[in-house]
Amino acid sequence: MNTWRVMTGAAAMSAAMMAFMGSTCDGNVGPNASARFVFEDLNAAILSISGTAANDVYAVGGDPAEDNLGPYVLHYDGTNWRRLQTGVTGALWWISVEPIGGDFWMAGENGNILRHDAAADDFEDFATPGTETIFGIWGAGGSDIWAVGGDLEADNGGVIWHYDGAVWTAQDLTAINAGGVPTLYKIWGRDADDVFAVGSEGTILHFDGMDWSAVDNESARTLFTINGDGSRAFAVGGFGDAAIVEQNGDSFEDNSPAGALQLNGIFVRGEQAVAVGNEVTVAYRGDTDWEVQNTGLDSIRDFHATWIDPDGGIWAVGGNLGASLNHGIIAYIGTATIGANVVQE
């Protein structure tokens, strides 16, 4: 197993990512950190992960029919993983990458959108404008939240919904394409007037505070996730092989690493960007290009999403991403000791 050097505070991210880069050269960059699976065969695939700290982590995913407990929602408190009961059925595909208006928001099948009040240990299920699967959710604030998804059986079934603090409403996208837009998989923004949505056929849409419009993209390959910071935005995807596009002004340019497998998730914190994908692939962006890293992890399962905690710990989740959405995995790269006990509630 490879080892990694991770520090705390502002230096943590730089050290952890230098470890990524070094691992491709010598496979041993320090004695303190490691890449390891926390779970390798949960009943449900884990599709998204987020949190506020290494001891306040949320993971969401599939809904295993055999236990009648609804979708997997796990919370880690630094010691135990606790399975939370949402009161809904159907897989949850995404949790907001940070709290919105103080709460985490989750979205998934059957048009389900949930708000989780951690203080009250409670879930609120919202009335939504449709039953499409919602794959992504992001918000500038508690009264300005966006959700995207679509109908996987229709090439023009993409939807964008907006929450104004009172109700969710479907957005009219006919100005972009009168026949409809492709399925949209994720949404992310810098601010209320700078929001991006990505999806099938290389679709990238942008909201400027008034209207949604299409953005030029060099690649026509499907994009599954977008994330960025104040000056950069990256979207990842592909089918079989990796697709990565990067914002350059008003358009996106292809910067896909040669030979890499499909990438499904990406997260940016500070100056660093990490992407994950099929067969537990992990890639790191250097100064100009993306490089696939030798983490020492090995699995036939696929990573679907990643998150970097404030201490520099890197989390990646996934499993069997086919129709069954089972065999869930959670991996961690860092120095913290991560418990693997699930308390069922």
Distance CA 324, CA 44 (A): 8
C-alpha torsion sign, points 44, 333, 74, 151: negative
Residue-range domains of the chain with CATH: 3-343 (2.130.10.10)
Nearest to 333 by CA among 297, 287, 302: 297
Please list the alpha-helical segments (H only) found in the chain. Answer: 11-23
Give the whole-angstrom CA distance, residue 164 versus residue 297: 43
Instruction: Please state the pTM of the whole predicted model.
Output: 0.91
Q: What is the pLDDT along the chain (345 residues), one digit of tens a residue?
A: 333 323 223 344 444 444 443 443 332 223 466 899 999 999 999 999 999 999 999 999 999 988 899 999 999 999 999 999 999 999 999 999 999 999 999 999 999 999 999 999 999 999 999 999 999 999 999 999 999 999 878 778 999 999 999 999 999 999 999 999 999 999 999 999 999 999 999 999 999 999 999 999 999 999 999 999 999 999 999 999 999 999 999 999 999 998 999 999 999 998 789 999 999 999 999 889 999 998 999 999 999 999 999 998 999 999 999 999 999 999 999 989 999 988 876
Residues 227, 267: contact at Cβ < 8 Å? yes
**CA-CA distance, 93 to 95, in Å (whole number)?**
7
User: What is the phi/psi pair of residue 18, to 5°?
Assistant: -60, -35
The pair of structure tokens assigned to 106 is: 């989750």
Residue 213: what pLDDT? 97
Q: How far apart are CA 154 and CA 66, in angstroms?
A: 29
The reported pLDDT for the residue numbered 286 is 87
What confidence score (pLDDT) does residue 4 get?
A: 31
pLDDT computed for residue 12 by the predictor: 41
